[in-house]
Amino acid sequence: MCGIIGFTGNIPAKDVIIGGLETLEYRGYDSAGVALLCDGEITVRKRTGKVEELKKLCADMDNPATCGIGHTRWATHGGVTDVNAHPHRCGQVVLIHNGIIENYRQLITEYGLADDIISETDTEVVAALIDKFYEGDPVKAIKKAVKVLSGAFGLCIMFQDIPDTIYCIRNVSPLVAATSDRGSVIASDLTALIAYSKDYFVVPEYHLLTLTKDGIDVRDMKGNEVKPQMLSVNWDIASAQKGGYPFFMLKEIYEQPDAIRNTVAPRVMDGMPDFTDDGIDDSVFENIDKVTVIGCGTAMHAGMVGKHLIEAKLRIPVQVEIASEFRYKNPIIDEKTLTIVLSQSGETIDTLEAMKLAKANGSKVISIVNVKGSSIARESDYVLYTHAGPEIAVASTKAYTVQVAAMYLIAARMGVVKKLVSDSETKKFMTKLINTPNIIEETLEGANDIKRVANHIKLSPDAFYIGRGLDYTMSLEASLKLKEISYIHAEAYAAGELKHGTIALITENVPVIAIATQEDVYEKVISNIREVKARGAYVILISMDEKVDDVKICDKHIRIPKLDPEFTAFATAVILQLIAYYTSEAKGLDVDKPRNLAKSVTVE
Ligand code: M6R
């Protein structure tokens, strides 16, 4: 959470910083600020609201500075106010921060900082502390301060009397850095670097970086020079732009066919699932007797789809765990448990910590991650990268379907290794998996129909999603998506469970989105639909039926292509994403930046 960027080079920094903040805004948009260092003077401008507001605030600024830092905030400590916005200044020091300093109150008392600070933030305490320790040697002051900080931090620091230089250090919170012919740049996310270089490195934890226009010096805490491992981005700047779509979310929904192709194709060898290039050895699967899946939000829901498949096909028990719950449990896992961790960003702190706990209990961990070199990817035993490209909209779409595809790949390989599924069956399964992008393309052709459904939903304060089995899992994800971006209260219910209480909420015209794609329970779901229809619900049915004319069943029917029950998830997901998208758009909301949220959740 929070987007941070620093630049020092040979072009004006203001535009670099503000441009970078625009691309990082999905990490938080409560307030934004910039600090520019020029001729021994640091100018700070900051304000509540989105980067657009900061842009207006800086419109009259004709500052020639070629060194500066910028921040877009997701508030944790202290309300959404101008004074709590970053950068924070104390004496000679101006800094920006992503993370949480857990012992900030204690530090205020211990170091007598109360009179130095004016905001309610944990961050300002760090500025005050570094300034207190600063006697002309910035490295010494930063090291001394960092030693007493507990919590997560990504910090970019400037000193008023040190020209054209930015110092950076991190613990847990992400930072990536790059150099180019225009200067040195650091940010919390690659999307802000890509305009300058395709080659970058992940800042190692507790290493001090000194950025100047000529390059980046990296040293460990003992002062030894360190050569960081360079990585390359495999997508270009166009991937991080809207490309003619009104919102990133819609663009990302339409990118799903390619995202799945890019994720699945490199893992198919002679029609069989193959993880050779990922370095995932078959021995990982050989001796396991159960699987634990960990994630948060949408990523966790993708894991649930995987659970359905693994349990149904392989008869191996799968436990899906909410990371924030799991991390404080005494988990029942051991070396015979395979842990699969899902995360688009690879930085979600609850997921990261839950993963560490699984490892500590002897379980081998495969992570399914979209962002290369991210913390979860680095700390897991094996990583299966999804190749969705950057996902900018806060609401996850393409990252979800590629995670599901990755779970399907794992299930397929596990079946082969454990000799639970024959090679010919596996090949048939893989052919269907390879075909899912085409199915999604076909499903997307019906997008206009979904707009009409959204026009009904947008009028209601509540909506219900019902389904059984895999379709219930899809309902959970659908209701999260609708809540997240349309602010409509939505609940997902196992269709058969509705009559045990929740049906009391079904009244005239309440939208019920019923998913009935699973043959074995189809008739059961239809009966449950009749129950809500009889109570006046406005039913939107998603099924494979060619046509449903019966007004006793539904008011609107959305057809998905004819598919094997285990592959309906991909088509259904797209329909449900579009319902949420068009409802939010019809309400005139900022689809990509829903209130109170941020893309990457690096706080507990
Ligand atoms: O980056 P991660 O996949 O670990 O993020 C997990 C969740 O925060 C994320 O999926 C969230 O639920 C989405 N915003 C939902 O659309």
**Average pLDDT of the residues in 453-458:** 93
Instruction: Give the per-residue pLDDT at 187.
Output: 97
CA of 133 to the centre of ligand 1 (A): 39
Over residues 343-355, the pLDDT tens digits come to 999 999 999 999 9
Residue nearest to atom 11 of ligand 1 (CA): 297
Residue nearest to atom 12 of ligand 1 (CA): 297
Pairing of strands 268-269, 272-273: antiparallel
Confidence of residue 550 (pLDDT cuts 50, 70, 90): confident
Give the DSSP letter string of 308-346.
HHHHHHH---EEEEEHHHHTTS-----TTEEEEEEESSS
CA of 297 to the centre of ligand 1 (A): 5
Give the atom of ligand 1 at the shortest distance from the alpha carbon of 344: 3
**Average pLDDT of the residues in 228-233:** 91
CA of 296 to the centre of ligand 1 (A): 6
Instruction: Give the per-residue pLDDT at 57.
Output: 96
Give the atom of ligand 1 at the shortest distance from the alpha carbon of 403: 3
CA of 546 to the centre of ligand 1 (A): 34
Over residues 291-332, the pLDDT tens digits come to 999 999 999 999 999 999 999 999 999 999 999 999 999 999
CA of 400 to the centre of ligand 1 (A): 9
Instruction: Give the per-residue pLDDT at 127.
Output: 98
- Residue appearing with tokens 């007797």: 289
Tokens for 454, please give them.
């959204």
Out of 304, 394, 401, 601, give the residue to mutate to test ligand 1, the one with the largest number of ligand atoms within 8 Å of its CB.
Answer: 601
Length of the chain in terms of residues written: 604
Helices 568-586/423-444 angle, 10° precision: 20
Tokens for 407, please give them.
């779970």
Instruction: Give the per-residue pLDDT at 160.
Output: 97
CA of 396 to the centre of ligand 1 (A): 6
Over residues 459-469, the pLDDT tens digits come to 999 999 999 99
Whether pLDDT at 374 is above 90: no
Instruction: Give the per-residue pLDDT at 239.
Output: 77
**Average pLDDT of the residues in 10-15:** 96
Whether pLDDT at 248 is above 80: yes
The CA-based angle 167-173-175, given to 5 degrees, is 50
CA of 276 to the centre of ligand 1 (A): 28
Q: How far is CA 311 from the centre of its chain?
A: 27
Residue nearest to atom 6 of ligand 1 (CA): 296
**Cβ–Cβ under 8 Å, residues 549 and 210:** no
**Average pLDDT of the residues in 447-452:** 86
% of the chain at pLDDT higher than 70 = 100
- 425 Cβ neighbours under 8 A, 6+ residues apart: none
Whether pLDDT at 161 is above 80: yes
Residue nearest to atom 14 of ligand 1 (CA): 395
Residue nearest to atom 10 of ligand 1 (CA): 298
Rounded distance between C-alpha atoms, residue 457 and residue 507, angstroms:
14
Instruction: Give the per-residue pLDDT at 233.
Output: 85
Whether pLDDT at 208 is above 80: yes
Strands (DSSP E) found in 484-535: 489-494, 511-516
Whether pLDDT at 76 is above 90: no
Give the atom of ligand 1 at the shortest distance from the alpha carbon of 399: 3
Whether pLDDT at 238 is above 80: no
**Cβ–Cβ under 8 Å, residues 397 and 297:** no
Out of 29, 190, 294, 296, give the residue to mutate to test ligand 1, the one with the largest number of ligand atoms within 8 Å of its CB.
Answer: 296
Give the atom of ligand 1 at the shortest distance from the alpha carbon of 400: 10
Give first-to-last CA distance, the chain, whole Å: 11
* pTM for the predicted model, two decimal places: 0.86
Residue list, ligand 1 pocket, CB within 6 Å: 296-299, 343-345, 348, 351, 394-396, 480, 484, 600-601
φ and ψ at 275, to 5 degrees?
-110, 25
Q: Which residues are catalytic?
A: 2, 599
Q: How far is CA 349 from the centre of its chain?
A: 11
Write the DSSP symbol of residue 401. Answer: H
- 136 Cβ neighbours under 8 A, 6+ residues apart: none
Give the atom of ligand 1 at the shortest distance from the alpha carbon of 601: 8
Mean pLDDT of the chain: 95
Radius of gyration of the chain (CA): 25
Confidence of residue 280 (pLDDT cuts 50, 70, 90): very high
Give CA separation, 536 vs 16, 519, 539, 552, 554, in Å.
55, 26, 9, 10, 11
Instruction: Give the per-residue pLDDT at 448.
Output: 83
Whether pLDDT at 135 is above 80: yes
**Cβ–Cβ under 8 Å, residues 200 and 230:** yes
In a 10 Å sphere around its CB, with 0-12 CB exposed, 13-18 middle and 19+ buried, how is residue 60 labelled?
A: exposed
Rounded distance between C-alpha atoms, residue 324 and residue 326, angstroms:
6
